[in-house]
């Protein structure tokens, strides 16, 4: 059974477990090799795949997950996205685009147009659609009880008594935290979060128990390392240490694809976190 279990992030509904394993597995090994400075053993690894649960329905409805399909969003969701988007973009970006010509995102609902341009100004082209897609799926996972139950059931099946490391990317970090919360009897030697939105006020307000482990770490977690790229719009809230002081927060530079899971996994700092709890891989 898998010693390391990955929990993927957003926008994977058109892929599948095997396709994601083909990307995650080599990247994970590259990160270990970068940390060890030598070829390492391949860890028993599996990935909990739940992305298909976000697919549209047979009648053609998108299911509220396509970041390009914003016209029919309910007013409350638009308002929430505009608020969290403005927080992520920051005042400097909002001021910078407010006086500029209104280019791009003209088909996006008016309340989101300025925010989308500001997100792209701060994080680079395409950041707004990535951000909106991410927070729509996080929102749906935390608010749609039936969907959450289905996602959690899939991840629970992958996390066995042999699992020592839980790796959550993007939305997957929220799902992984929920595993820790819901299964206090399951000991995890390392919780490894990558590109996580767990520090965002919007996300924390929806979580069942965001204060779990706030005195240090959740009791069933031996160590927690949070890896983030400061240019990743999904991880805009920054370090998680202020919420979990026992956590170790490290930064990396993923260059032009700041939120990509393989880039996070392939970093030596990510591999070092794994080797700290799985030193036998370097022998």
The string of pLDDT tens digits covering residues 166-211 is 999 999 999 999 999 999 999 999 999 999 999 999 999 999 999 9
Please report, for residues 31, 230, 259, the alpha-carbon distance to residue 115 in angstroms, rounded to integers and kept in the order given.
35, 19, 19
Go through the chain and tell me how many residues it has.
Answer: 283
Query: Does 64 reside within a domain?
Result: no
3-state secondary structure of 74: coil
Cβ neighbourhood burial of 9 (10 Å; 0-12, 13-18, 19+): buried
Domain span at residue 37 reads 4-55+144-282
Judge whether 192 and 163 are in contact, CB under 8 Å.
Answer: no
Distance, in Å, from the CA atom of 270 to the CA atom of 120, rounded to the nearest integer, reads: 27
pLDDT band at 58 (very low <50, low <70, confident <90, very high): very low
Tell whether the model's pLDDT for residue 60 goes beyond 60: no
- Domain identity same for 124 and 186: no
Residue 69 lies in a domain: no
Q: Are residues 14 and 102 in the same domain?
A: no
**3-state secondary structure at position 165:** strand
Residue with the two structure tokens 């309340």: 111
C-alpha distances (whole Å) from 175 to each of 103, 118, 232, 268 are 36, 28, 19, 24
Say yes or no: 203 and 100 in one domain: no
**Same structural domain for residues 95 and 171?**
no
Asked whether 223 and 277 are in contact (CB, 8 A), the reply is yes
Q: What is the pLDDT of residue 63?
A: 47
11 and 133 together in one domain = no
**E-state strands within 14-148:** 45-48
109-134 pLDDT tens trace: 888 888 999 999 999 988 998 888 88
Distances (CA, A) of 108 to 69, 102, 115: 9, 12, 10
Same domain for 263 and 202: yes
Asked, for residue 68, whether it belongs to a domain, the answer is no
Residue 260 and residue 206 share a domain: yes
What's the pLDDT score for residue 65?
A: 46
Euclidean distance between CA atoms 175 and 7, whole angstroms: 7
Total of domains in the chain:
2
What residues form DSSP beta bridges with 6? 47, 167
């Amino acid at each position: 059974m898998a010693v390391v279990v990955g929990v993927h992030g957003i926008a994977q509904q058109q892929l599948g477990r095997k396709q994601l394993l083909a990307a995650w597995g080599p990247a994970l090994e590259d990160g270990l090799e970068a940390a060890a400075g030598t070829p390492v053993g391949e860890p028993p690894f599996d990935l909990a795949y739940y992305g298909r649960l976000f697919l549209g329905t047979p009648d053609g409805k998108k299911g509220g997950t396509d970041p390009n399909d914003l016209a029919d969003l309910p007013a409350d969701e638009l308002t929430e996205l505009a608020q969290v988007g403005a927080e992520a973009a920051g005042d400097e970006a909002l001021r910078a685009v407010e006086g500029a010509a209104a280019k791009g995102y003209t088909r996006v609902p008016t309340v989101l147009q300025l925010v989308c341009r500001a997100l792209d100004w701060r994080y680079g082209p395409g950041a707004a659609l990535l951000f909106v897609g991410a927070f729509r799926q996080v929102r749906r996972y935390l608010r749609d009880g039936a969907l959450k139950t289905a996602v959690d059931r899939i991840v629970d099946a992958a996390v066995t008594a042999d699992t020592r490391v839980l790796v959550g990317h993007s939305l997957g970090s929220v799902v992984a935290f929920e595993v820790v919360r819901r299964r206090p009897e399951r000991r995890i030697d390392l919780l490894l979060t990558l590109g996580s939105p767990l520090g965002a006020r919007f996300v924390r307000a929806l979580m069942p128990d965001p204060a779990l482990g706030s005195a240090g770490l959740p009791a069933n977690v031996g160590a927690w390392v949070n890896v983030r790229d400061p240019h990743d719009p999904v991880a805009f809230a920054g370090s998680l240490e202020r919420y979990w002081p026992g956590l170790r927060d490290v930064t990396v530079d993923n260059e032009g694809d700041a939120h990509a899971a393989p880039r996070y996994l392939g970093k030596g700092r990510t591999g070092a976190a794994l080797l700290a709890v799985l030193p036998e891989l370097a022998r």
